[in-house]
Amino acid sequence: MNIKAFGTEAANASLKPMNIQRREVTAKDIEIEILYCGVCHSDLHTARNDWGGTMYPAVPGHEIVGKVTKIGSEVTKLKVGDSAAVGCLVDSCRECNSCKHDLEQYCLNGMVGTYNGKDKHLGGHTFGGYSEKVVVDEHFVLKVPSNLDLAAAAPLLCAGITTWSPLRHWKVGKGSKVAVIGLGGLGHMAIKLAKGLGAEVTLFSRTPDKKKDGLDLGANSVIISTDDNQMKTVKGKFDLIIDTVPYVHDINPYVATLNVNGTLVLVGYLGGLEPFLNTVPMILGRKSVAGSVIGGIAETQEMLDFCGEHNIVSDIEIIKMQDINEAYERMLKSDVRYRFVIDMASLKK
């Protein structure tokens, strides 16, 4: 079927209205009318080909919530009229060791991203949530707890799961000392989720006027990372640091703030680190520097259910589809408090 979308034809072009094709539902598919779609910094990286490999036209968007409009004959998970959500992946091989262990995001044969992935049905590449509808195999569709506001729940599908997965993998719980670097979409969800799990949470931010917000979001303390004196006060403190910074930056000052056996997990920047990473504090403190990408489907549902129980959603600013280019510019200036969410009804106008 032919549907309306918003996307870009080139790395240096603005996003604009376009038409794309979606498949008709097959036996295990769910068709979702998209009501809201969050705006992730990865959307911007992909639209502008920051990582290389973007296939054009590119239609970003992987924080999707909406209503089920059609189901295939074998679908059991949801019915027409239910709320539904789709995150960053829409397929994987489902046979490899990772897939068998609910780690579809690490599929050894390559997971299929919601956008810029290989479309196994129509050929070409996948198109994301800046669009009217999406058709996804039920395995990759999530249920949204009924008490959560749909627009504010959308960012849980990427910002939420990307920070939840390392919190769970490194077994954060009551009494854990967790730090978060960068107060943006991922960072503000990391604070809320770590707090929800019972951790003591510190925010590292470059932006002094985000201090009050950090505390209001649940951080126990805020360290302005450009102030060496403040950095010294947390030397050797943290069990886990979640680093959400999207661009190259020096992680050595943060490694110094890890406790013995502590881990700094990079979820933001993809690429070579500069300046070099000094191994001395890592060796002398058995510290780790790690990475993590989104989360599996079962883990995403676990996170959504946890958010339902604890009433956790994102702090959002609702925008119209037509405002997306301006929203990207604001995101580059760290001027998002703390996630843009597109009201997809605006696409129809």
Residues that bind ligand NAP (CB under 6 A): 40-42, 45, 158-159, 162, 182-187, 205-207, 210, 244-247, 249, 267-268, 292-294, 331, 334, 336
40 interacts with Zn ion by CB under 5 A? yes
Residues 127-166 that bind Zn ion (CB under 5 A): 158
**CA distances, 28 to each of 1, 77, 100, 122, 138 (Å):** 17, 10, 19, 16, 6
Question: Among ligand NAP, Zn ion, none, what binds residue 182 when CB lies within 5 to 8 Å by partner kind?
Answer: ligand NAP
Long-range contacts of 248-254 (CB under 8 A, 24+ apart): 248/272, 248/273, 248/274, 250/274, 250/275, 251/277, 251/289, 252/277, 252/278, 252/281, 253/225, 254/179, 254/181, 254/204, 254/225
Cα-to-chain-centroid distance, residue 297: 13
220: Cβ contacts below 8 Å, ≥ 6 apart? 200, 201, 202
Tokens of 305: 């259910």
Identity of the residue numbered 97: N
Give me the least distance between CB of 63 and Zn ion, in Å please: 7
Q: With contacts defined by CB under 5 A, how many residues of the chain interact with Zn ion?
A: 3
Nearer to ligand NAP, 131 or 163 (CB): 163
Nearer to ligand NAP, 207 or 322 (CB): 207
- Near Zn ion by CB under 5 A: residue from 42, 176, 257, 300: 42
**CA 65, CA 88: separation in Å to the nearest integer?**
12
Nearer to ligand NAP, 133 or 249 (CB): 249
Nearer to ligand NAP, 69 or 325 (CB): 325
Contact by Cβ (8 Å): 84, 40: no
Nearer to Zn ion, 57 or 184 (CB): 184
Residue 4: φ, ψ to 5° = -85, 145
342 interacts with Zn ion by CB under 5 A? no
Nearer to Zn ion, 267 or 321 (CB): 267
Stretch that binds Zn ion, among 10-18, 42-50, 219-227, 283-291 (CB under 5 A): 42-50
Give me the least distance between CB of 52 and Zn ion, in Å please: 18
Nearer to ligand NAP, 196 or 268 (CB): 268
Give me the least distance between CB of 240 and ligand NAP, in Å please: 15
Upper half-sphere CA count for residue 42 (Cβ side, 13 Å): 26
Give me the least distance between CB of 250 and Zn ion, in Å please: 24
Give me the least distance between CB of 339 and ligand NAP, in Å please: 7
* Of 38, 7, 65, 309, residue with least CA distance to 186: 38
Give me the least distance between CB of 323 and ligand NAP, in Å please: 16
Give me the least distance between CB of 212 and ligand NAP, in Å please: 12
Contact by Cβ (8 Å): 141, 304: no
Question: Among Zn ion, ligand NAP, none, what binds residue 178 when CB lies within 5 to 8 Å by partner kind?
Answer: none
Question: Among ligand NAP, Zn ion, none, what binds residue 267 when CB lies within 5 to 8 Å by partner kind?
Answer: ligand NAP
Residues that bind Zn ion (CB under 5 A): 40, 42, 158
